[in-house]
Amino acid sequence: MAEAKIIRADTLGEPNYDSPLKGQINRFYNGEAVACNDRTKDFADLESIDDIDYFELAGPREKLFFNPKNVTVGIVTCGGLCPGLNDVIRALTFCSLQSYGVKRVLGFKYGYEGLVAKYYHYPIELTTDNTDEIHEKGGTILKSSRGAQDTDEIINTLIHYGVDILFTIGGDGTQRGARDIVEGVKKRNLPIAVVGIPKTIDNDIDLIQRSFGFETAVEATWDIITNAHSEAKAYRNGVGLVNLMGRESGWIAASASLANSNVNFCLVPEVPFDLHGPNGFLQHLKTRLQNKEHAVVVVAEGAGQNLFDALLGTNKSGNKNLNDIGILLKNEINAYFKAENMEANVKYFDPSYNIRSRRANANDSMYCLRLGNNAVHAAMAGKTNMIVGLHHDRLIHLPIPMVGARKTIDPQSWFWQTVVQATHQPAQMANS
């Protein structure tokens, strides 16, 4: 059998230092890998088992590129809030200081702004004392911001503070920025490792099975949907309308609908729908109210954008600004049933900030700890231009350039078919 085709992260050079974890742990990474694909259809065109591609398994390495006692670590959090940010910061800090004994850990405030001198955001030194209890709170102690910054200015700041390893906690825009920093330090021939911890509450990072904070977000929807159901049932033809996160991927809305079986309609960006017409959403909602006198509707924020006349440009992160589908549905439902001379009572819930600013639940907190620890293991071994994430239930090193299109729901998948079955909504609510 030929040698396995393992997709590896970039490395700064030959690791020559012994890991201080010797004696603390039972085993080191020994060359294991995880198959990129796991279904028979993905192997249909392969001629041999030797053609299977693998991702490098995450874990502590026996030899390190950096001498820990000389290392300065930098941490930055970017983009929107997400449950677990403080958990990751804490894990990075504790693993760097306690497990590896690095010289110091610096937290750069307000995202990439904190790495640009003109903003005067001085870094704070993170210790095991001032990060000891931060996982008990939501948000990020390092604060955040959106938008790209000048890469050369960022690298100048890293040099100024003697940063050897930079951990970037953020979504696709953040990791694009990390990739640019990698290219910049390569041009200057600087031995600085850049390792990302992918963050998106929408769970839409390609090749990553689950992003931290997603499970907490789904759990947080339980009471909200239950309350929407109670409101709907308390009034004649009551409609509990819940607007959830999900810009281009409806994972939270769909998962919340499965977790709480009170949902009757789940609307996501991946499945277009019409409002009016014989097979439009409003007609099906009317039928539901005639039969049951109440309904619960869950909509992802990016659903139904085709129903608006104008686009709203992009935000600082380069993501398109969204029209408010929740308010549109509320107004359209009220107008439709008024025209039908049929009473309807819409109760509107938009809990987005309440969800994303909460602290992580136990399972997400555990996941954040593993992500943080394995990011440190990778960086100390000289790995760079990569993120750590879950793939087929294993933590892997994923090269940043491989992170491409967003992970979206396949309308033909069993996952979405289960949503349709659970809600009893039509498979299609479009007239064409």
pLDDT digits (tens, 9 = 90+) for 111-136: 999 999 999 999 999 999 999 999 99
Q: Tens digit of pLDDT for each residue in 370-395?
A: 999 999 999 999 999 999 999 999 99
Residue 38 pLDDT? 83
Taking only the tens place, the pLDDT of each residue in 339-358 is 999 999 999 999 999 999 99
- Structure-block tokens of residue 406: 């967003």
Position 3 confidence tier, pLDDT thresholds 50, 70, 90:
low
Distance CA 261, CA 276 (A): 26
- What is the spatial distance between Cα 298 and Cα 263, in angstroms, rounded to a whole number? 7
Rounded-to-integer distance, Cα 432 and Cα 429, Å: 9
Mean pLDDT, to the nearest integer, of 82-104?
98
Q: How many residues does the chain have?
A: 432
Can you tell me the mean pLDDT for 137-144?
Answer: 97
pLDDT of residue 1: 40
* CB burial string 102-137: b at 16+ within 10 A, e below: bebbbbbbbbbbbbbeeeebebeebeeeebeebbee
* Fold classification of 214-355+411-423 (topology level): Rossmann fold (3.40.50)
User: Is residue 256 very low, low, confident or very high in pLDDT (cuts 50, 70, 90)?
Assistant: very high
Q: Would strands 63-64 and 17-18 be described as parallel, antiparallel, or unpaired?
A: antiparallel
Percent of the chain residues past pLDDT 70, beyond the cut? 97
Are 196 and 400 in contact by the 8 Å Cβ rule? The answer is yes
When pLDDT is averaged across residues 19-39 and rounded to a whole number, the result is: 89
Cα dihedral sign, 50-51-52-58: positive
Pair of tokens at residue 393: 């239930």
The residue that leads in pLDDT, 4 or 300, is 300
Residue ranges of domains in the chain: 57-211+360-391, 214-355+411-423
User: Mean of the pLDDT values across residues 240-260?
Assistant: 97
User: Does residue 315 carry a pLDDT above 70?
Assistant: no
* pLDDT at residue 90 tops 70: yes
CATH class of the domain whose range is 57-211+360-391:
alpha beta
Q: How far apart are the first and last CA of the chain?
A: 52
Assign 313 a pLDDT band (cuts: 50, 70, 90). Answer: low
Q: What is the pLDDT of residue 316?
A: 60
Write the pLDDT tens digit of every residue in 400-430: 999 888 999 999 999 999 999 999 999 999 9
Tell me the mean pLDDT in the region 153-181: 96
- Residue 185 and residue 192 in contact, taking contact as beta carbons nearer than 8 Å: yes
Asked whether this chain's domains 57-211+360-391 and 214-355+411-423 adopt the same fold, the reply is yes
353-to-111, 217, 297, 320, 429 alpha-carbon distances in Å: 19, 11, 19, 19, 29
* pLDDT over 80 at 48, yes or no: no
Distances (CA, A) of 428 to 326, 410, 425: 20, 14, 8
Query: What's the pLDDT tens digit per position in 176-221?
Result: 999 999 999 999 999 999 999 999 999 999 999 999 999 999 999 9
Q: What single-letter amino acid sits at 218?
A: V
Residue type, 384: T
pLDDT category of residue 2 using cuts at 50, 70 and 90:
low
**Average pLDDT, whole number, for the chain?**
94
Mean pLDDT to the nearest integer, 281-310: 96
298-321 burial string, b = 16+ CB within 10 Å, else e?
bbbbbbbbebeeeeeeeeebebee
Closest to 89 measured CA to CA, from 124, 53, 122, 50: 124
Active site residues: 202
State yes or no: pLDDT of 13 exceeds 70.
yes
pLDDT band of residue 318 (cuts 50, 70, 90) is low
Cα–Cα dist 133/224, whole Å: 28
CA-nearest of 371, 33, 359 to 198 is 371
- Res 169: pLDDT: 98
The C-alpha atoms of residue 7 and residue 389 are separated, in whole angstroms, by 14
Buried b (16+ CB within 10 A) or exposed e, 204-240: bbebbebbbbbbbbbbbbeebbeebbebbeebebbbb
Mean per-residue pLDDT, 226-232: 98
For the residues 161-174, what does the mean pLDDT come to?
96
Q: Which residue has the tokens 């390893």?
A: 165
Flag whether pLDDT at 26 surpasses 90: no
User: How does pLDDT run across 52-72, given as a tens digit for each residue?
Assistant: 899 999 999 999 999 999 999
**CB–CB of 10/399 below 8 Å?**
yes
